[in-house]
Structure 1
Amino acid sequence: MSAGGRSSQLLALVAIFFSSYIVGIYSAARASSLTLAPLSKANESLILANDTLLAEDGNSSSRHPRWFPFYTIGRFSNDICVGNNLLLGTCVINGECTDNSGVAAGSCSSITAQAICCIYQRTCGASTSYNNTYFYNSNYPAPYGGGGRCSIVVTPPDSSICQLRVDFLSLSLAPPSGDGFCSTDALTITGGASQVPSICGENAGQHVYVDFNGVSPITISVATSGSYTFNRNWQFQIRMLACTSATLAPAGCLQYYMPSSGTLANFNYNSAAASALNSIGVQGTRQLANTKYGICIRKAAGMCSITYSQVGSDTYSFTLTNDVGAVDPTLLATSSVQSQECTTDYIIIPSPTQGGVAMPSDRFCGLGLVSTTTSAKPFVVYTVTDGNEDMDISNRGFYLSYSQNACPIL
């Protein structure tokens, strides 16, 4: 045999030995219940092809499985996938999903049948370092009876993760008091570098962004009162954003909307009035007390300004201050009840114009908002509420539509 032939044989034997050695280590680790570092953190998973287990001869009770000695090793990316339950998951090997208490929801790769879309679902007392984790109340979608605190701790896998986005797919808690305080139930998000107000009431479809404080964990907690009967439920989608992500929310933005047009609202907004009375015994507010945060909209390409308007189908879509019941309903949402002398509850639209005329202030309150346009960047609406709602009777807050406007052709 030629020297070249012997070299080829030697290389082939080395390759077979190396493959069998690696597979043997992996198999032994799993058999002895050792904890392996999730390969998904390196953004790839190991695939063991032709992984048929053969039992040794002898009594079945003493059989020890061994790996068939010929394998191929490949890799696939741990991409986001859509499971057959329509939830977002991560593409991993089946064993990794099982080891990390995930739920297999269909295949996700054409490379191997072992690759499955893994959905990470957690409830009270859990922790996670996995992207696209879903956090539910116990027995969801059945209501949560209330009483005590239900929490999840979210820890970034490493310093490459900078931000957390929490989508409230469902969130129904006891309403605030007539003065806007979450004194019965409250969602709190703590441990991050961003301040998140206490949230209660009806908030399905809302979301928040929270900056991580280095690699310190963020705790999402729902506290409820067992003495108050209410059909509570929640389902949160928790997503981690890399520091290099194009979808990071800008600094100061608790909420961040990507579409060039849409709607935005304060927490617990609803066109129906609150049933609770405030501290002076009159119908209270739906607005949450003591909030101060920014709602941002990503500027689309070729757009130079943005216009905010009340949602036309809802007469109460801008009722921030004063007594709603004391005003002729036909005047609501008009300039006659719009105010810019705002010191308690208000929104801020930087450099605003109405009908092409610059406004004297960037603050808006009262019981109406005329369509308002701004070219100031970034596109942001700031919302501010205080803790005194004595004279703000039956207010709902704000529910606005927004639409970006194309740059003029010069």
Structure 2
Amino acid sequence: MVNISTFLVFLTLNFRYYLCAPSLGSDQDIWSDFGGGNNSFGAFGVPEDNSRLPRVLNFFPVPVEEECLSTDGRRRGICMNVYECRIQGGKSHGKCALGFGVCCVFTATCNQEIFNNLTYFVSPDFPDLTKAMTSCNLTVKKIDEEIAQIRLDFIHFNLGQPNRRTGVCEQDVFIMSGDDSRELKLCGLNSGQHIYFDVDSIRNPIQINMKLNRRAVSRLWEVIVTQIPFAQRAPTGCLQYHVGSRGIVQTMNFADNGRHLADQDYNICMRQEEGMCSIAYEPCHENSFRIAPNNNGTRRPALEDDSEGSGGGGLSRSFRECVDRIVLPCDNEDLIMLGGNGPGSCNMIHCGETLCPDGESPCRIESSSIPFTIGIHFEGNAREAPADENLGMCLLYEQLPCN
């Protein structure tokens, strides 16, 4: 049983917090979140209407700030007391912590700065489309030195398409950068995608800059910006990190009228679930793997094993032909045999019109190589190729149990 004197001390301290808190402006109604502002107060600031007496407790600090779900069930917020929500620039969307707090949702738009754990970055006219814009910038400040990554979840992301021949984001472009870290560049349609951006060694604010040069294009974005502490970070080298025993992975800007982006070099990683020892991949549909091979006469620099004795085949030939490529790790390096697809061989490099060799159907590739990763390597040298031959990749994956 809780000691009554301890409870009274807790109540007194919290009441002092309420009395000593900085006053709100005259235009701010502290009761608006509870259904009305025309309240009369008696002695000691207690409402004369006894039905409102329990609601004073909503101003007491919430002991632990945790994520919560807004009343519409669509957005996530942080559970905190209503006063803290107001002074931090959030909006309350329902109650939490047994009614002692509110679910505070934070949003930001162009030319603003965010300094909290969970924020929705939205286009200026959201949920309506935005047209008349040339730029949009956002500054993200780390809330703690222990923050190792920034995760972006693209709920909606619709910018202008890249150059249809080269895949370069020449007009609209989304750029994320920080200190000397490598820039992330995106454009086109990326709704449903997510990325992890490493900020462990970054001390200055992270910048998101959007250059929007096509005035006739209708744009829309809603991006969740989450700060990830070191203990919860995704593995190093993973731009995307999927959890669950099955799911779907896509290259950026994968769409019916899309084209994979140029200058992309990253890994898609799948967390190995408990009791799972291998993974299987198969195309989402018959047209979900389109990465044109190198047919324009350009060549990559020769590799170490690119010798006369190799006959121009095997691994070195794959690298030369697949300038833009997908890399699926093999189970064992001993199975990577020169000559391509002979018995016992493993082909790591994939490009062309099918994931499987010689149009094999049904197409399914299994691998026991740990960790589960897919390498995405698209050149940035503006190599021209038809858009319908470069839609990119969409794969279904399923982890398989240990035997």
- TM-score, structure 2 as length reference: 0.74
Give yes or no for the alignment of 1:403 onto 2:381.
no
Map 1:80-229 → 2, pairs under 5 A: 80-85=67-72, 86-110=74-98, 113-177=99-163, 178-191=165-178, 195-212=182-199, 213-225=201-213, 227-229=214-216
Q: Distance in 1 between matches of 2:280 and 2:184?
A: 27
Partner of 1:305: 278
32 and 397 in structure 1: CA distance in 2 versus 1, 3 angstrom threshold? closer
Do the aligned partners of 1:149 and 1:221 also contact (CA within 8 Å) in 2? Answer: yes
Partner of 1:67: none
Do the aligned partners of 1:351 and 1:374 also contact (CA within 8 Å) in 2? Answer: yes
Amino acid at match of 1:268: N
Partner of 2:254: 269
Do the aligned partners of 2:59 and 2:100 also contact (CA within 8 Å) in 1? Answer: no
Do the aligned partners of 2:14 and 2:60 also contact (CA within 8 Å) in 1? Answer: no
Q: Distance in 2 between matches of 1:294 and 1:114?
A: 43
Partner of 1:239: 226
Partner of 2:308: none
Q: Distance in 1 between matches of 2:366 and 2:9?
A: 70
- TM-score, structure 1 as length reference: 0.73
Q: CA deviation at 1:198?
A: 1.1
Q: Distance in 2 between matches of 1:407 and 1:219?
A: 44
198 and 19 in structure 1: CA distance in 2 versus 1, 3 angstrom threshold? same
Q: CA deviation at 1:195?
A: 3.1
Partner of 2:19: 27
* Structure 1 unaligned residues grouped into runs of 5+: 1-10, 34-51, 58-69, 275-285, 324-338
Amino acid at match of 2:168: F
Name which of structure 1's ranges 152-161 and 297-306 shifts more when overlaid on structure 2: 152-161
Name which of structure 1's ranges 249-258 and 121-130 shifts more when overlaid on structure 2: 121-130
Q: CA deviation at 1:351?
A: 1.2
Match of 2:238 among 253, 256, 259: 253
Q: CA deviation at 1:260?
A: 1.5
Q: CA deviation at 1:217?
A: 2.0
Do the aligned partners of 1:155 and 1:215 also contact (CA within 8 Å) in 2? Answer: no
Partner of 1:277: none
406 and 387 in structure 1: CA distance in 2 versus 1, 3 angstrom threshold? same
**Identical columns (%):** 27
Do the aligned partners of 1:271 and 1:317 also contact (CA within 8 Å) in 2? Answer: no
Q: Distance in 2 between matches of 1:304 and 1:355?
A: 24
Q: Distance in 2 between matches of 1:159 and 1:53?
A: 44
Amino acid at match of 2:91: V
For 1:76, what is the secondary structure of its paired residue? coil
Do the aligned partners of 2:178 and 2:202 also contact (CA within 8 Å) in 1? Answer: no
| Alignment root-mean-square deviation, CA | 3.3
The structure carrying a bigger strand percent of its residues is 1
For 2:148, what is the secondary structure of its paired residue? strand
Do the aligned partners of 1:269 and 1:398 also contact (CA within 8 Å) in 2? Answer: yes
369 and 20 in structure 1: CA distance in 2 versus 1, 3 angstrom threshold? closer
* Structure 2 unaligned residues grouped into runs of 5+: 26-39, 46-56, 296-316, 357-363
Amino acid at match of 2:19: S
Do the aligned partners of 2:18 and 2:59 also contact (CA within 8 Å) in 1? Answer: no
- Per-residue CA deviation, residues 325-371 of structure 1 (Å, 9 max, x unaligned), is xxxxxxxxxxxxxx934441001111158999643542111211122
Give yes or no for the alignment of 1:349 onto 2:328.
yes
Q: Distance in 2 between matches of 1:15 and 1:171?
A: 49
- Per-residue CA deviation, residues 182-240 of structure 1 (Å, 9 max, x unaligned), is 11101111116753431001110011101113443212222201x53011010001111
Q: CA deviation at 1:145?
A: 1.2
Q: CA deviation at 1:126?
A: 1.4
Do the aligned partners of 2:62 and 2:101 also contact (CA within 8 Å) in 1? Answer: no
Match of 1:366 among 330, 336, 352: 352
Q: CA deviation at 1:383?
A: 0.6
Do the aligned partners of 2:117 and 2:143 also contact (CA within 8 Å) in 1? Answer: no
Do the aligned partners of 1:20 and 1:71 also contact (CA within 8 Å) in 2? Answer: no
261 and 17 in structure 1: CA distance in 2 versus 1, 3 angstrom threshold? closer
Map 1:6-17 → 2, pairs under 5 A: none
Do the aligned partners of 1:19 and 1:71 also contact (CA within 8 Å) in 2? Answer: no
Do the aligned partners of 1:163 and 1:210 also contact (CA within 8 Å) in 2? Answer: yes
Do the aligned partners of 1:322 and 1:391 also contact (CA within 8 Å) in 2? Answer: no
Name which of structure 1's ranges 207-216 and 236-245 shifts more when overlaid on structure 2: 207-216
Do the aligned partners of 1:271 and 1:316 also contact (CA within 8 Å) in 2? Answer: no
73 and 383 in structure 1: CA distance in 2 versus 1, 3 angstrom threshold? closer
Amino acid at match of 1:27: L
Do the aligned partners of 2:59 and 2:81 also contact (CA within 8 Å) in 1? Answer: no
Q: Distance in 2 between matches of 1:360 and 1:109?
A: 54
Compare relative contact order (CA 8 Å, sep 6+) and give the higher one, 1 or 2. Answer: 2
Q: Distance in 1 between matches of 2:271 and 2:44?
A: 62
